[in-house]
Amino acid sequence: MGEIEQKQLFQIARFSLLSRAISHAASSDIPAAYAYAWHAGIYPWLHEDVQLHRPFQEQFLVTPEMGGQLVTFLQERWYMRDPLLFAEIESHFVRSDGGPWKRSVLIHACRYIFLSELFDRHFWGSLIKASESDGSASDVASIGDEFDWLHFDL
């Protein structure tokens, strides 16, 4: 199968999944974090029990390896109980030389981790409090309806 066909199949799978998530949000069997990952272009590495995303790994902006590196970095800080600034996460991952991480993608990846409930509320609350001058941190861990981010800007 060619690259164009692969991209087309990815977009069909993405649209189908997000359509189902939004139309059945209250009773959806699709976890909000999983739907968010598809919405934001983040490979849902924390949901390996689901099969749908596996054939499309190269279509996502964040690879499983990138996600694993981000989680490892956050875990180290979480274990130390050291308040973390979003700017510190950004300076560690976003490179001025044009590496794979962009600021907006990093925000989305952190939001996926938050929605997956990988760390406790204290960790995310500390991140927001320590980063109050940076609105991006509040985007990561904003509390609300678990599908309130979902809209069709495909």
The answer on pLDDT for 28 being more than 90 is no
Residue 18 domain-assigned?
yes
What's 42's DSSP letter?
A: B
Number of structural domains (the chain) is 1
Residue 153 domain-assigned?
no
Euclidean distance between CA atoms 95 and 69, whole angstroms? 15
Residue 52 domain-assigned?
yes
Residue 145 domain-assigned?
no
30 in helix, strand or coil? coil
**What does the pLDDT look like over 90-123, one tens digit per residue?**
889 998 777 889 988 998 999 999 999 998 888 8
pTM for the model stands at 0.85
Residue 114 domain-assigned?
yes
**What does the pLDDT look like over 66-84, one tens digit per residue?**
999 999 999 998 898 877 8
Would you state the structure tokens that stand for residue 122, as one six-digit string?
């204290």
Residue 33 domain-assigned?
yes
Domain that holds residue 78: 3-140
